[in-house]
Each structure stands twice: as structure tokens, then as C-alpha cells.
Structure 1
Amino acid sequence: MTHHTQASVHRFDEAAFTGELITDAGRVLPFDADAFARSGLRTLRVGQRLNVDHGPDGIRRLWIEGIGTGQQIR
């Protein structure tokens, strides 16, 4: 089952392209370089808000609303 939530960047390693997000409920969601690569983003900064799809196997997708293919600015 995939869950959709919003989270803030807690940590981001620019060399390894890995990091952690924190949901509004306080849950820490680590992400690996593959999840970051799928985002199409170049970098992240601490505190930045992201949309996240995650499941038992980790983060499947992360993105910024309005940035990327198929995203509309609202």
C-alpha cells in the first residue's frame, strides 16, 4: 500500500544524494539515491517541503508541487 503525505527535508547529503524527511506527524522517512534520482530534482535544502509517496519498502516518489513533468503551478 502506498501512502501520500507531505514532509520537510531534515537532512540531505549532496555527495551521496541521500537524506531524511520528517512528516508533520514526526515520522522520519529516509530516502536513497535512487529515490532522489527519480525526483528529477538537482538538490534539496533543509526545511524544504516535499510531497512523498511511500510504502513498506521506503520512499517511492518525492516531488515539489508545480515542478517537474506533469506538474501544474496552482
Structure 2
Amino acid sequence: MQATAYTYDPESRSGSVLLDDGTPLPFDRDAFDAGGLRLLRPGQRVRIETAEESEGTGGEAARRITLVTLQTL
């Protein structure tokens, strides 16, 4: 899936992306490290992989980013 880098904190190596429909989705250090990147700038197009996980007692599924890497053509 493709998205656009929205925020990135180099100290924590975490941030967020905007999906093409405008939905923000955060990523953590593990997802960033899995992509092998060293830096990410807001506005860069990225490829992400996600996983579904249940959240809370309501059992609603939430998407979690498992990999962030640059989008190449």
C-alpha cells in the first residue's frame, strides 16, 4: 500500500503517514527499522505494509504499520 510521510521523529524513529484517503496512521520504531531507512522527510511517498490486530474489549480491528520504506517506481 502507498502513503505519504506526514511526521517523523529521528530520536524515536517513529512517526505517521497519511493514507491516500487522508487518514493518518502512526508507525513505531520497529516498522521504521524493518524498512531499512535512515531518514524520512514529510511529503515523501512511501510503501507500507500493515497488519490487523484487535484492540480493546470491543474487539474492533485496528491497522498497525509493520514496515515503512520508500516508494520506488
TM-score using structure 1 length: 0.76
1:12-51 to 2 correspondences below 5 Å: 12-51=8-47
Bigger radius of gyration among the two = 2
Q: Secondary structure at the match of 1:56?
A: strand
Unpaired segments ≥5 residues, structure 1: 67-73
Check the 8 A contact 2:14/2:28 in 1, yes or no.
yes
TM-score, normalised with respect to structure 2: 0.77
Over the matched positions of the two proteins, sequence identity in percent amounts to 35
4+ runs deviating over 3 angstroms: none
Note the alpha carbon deviations across 1:27-67, whole angstroms, 9 max, x for none.
Answer: 1110000111111000100101001111224112221234x
Stretches of structure 2 that go unaligned for 5 or more consecutive residues are 54-63
Q: Specify which structure has the higher proportion of strand.
A: 2
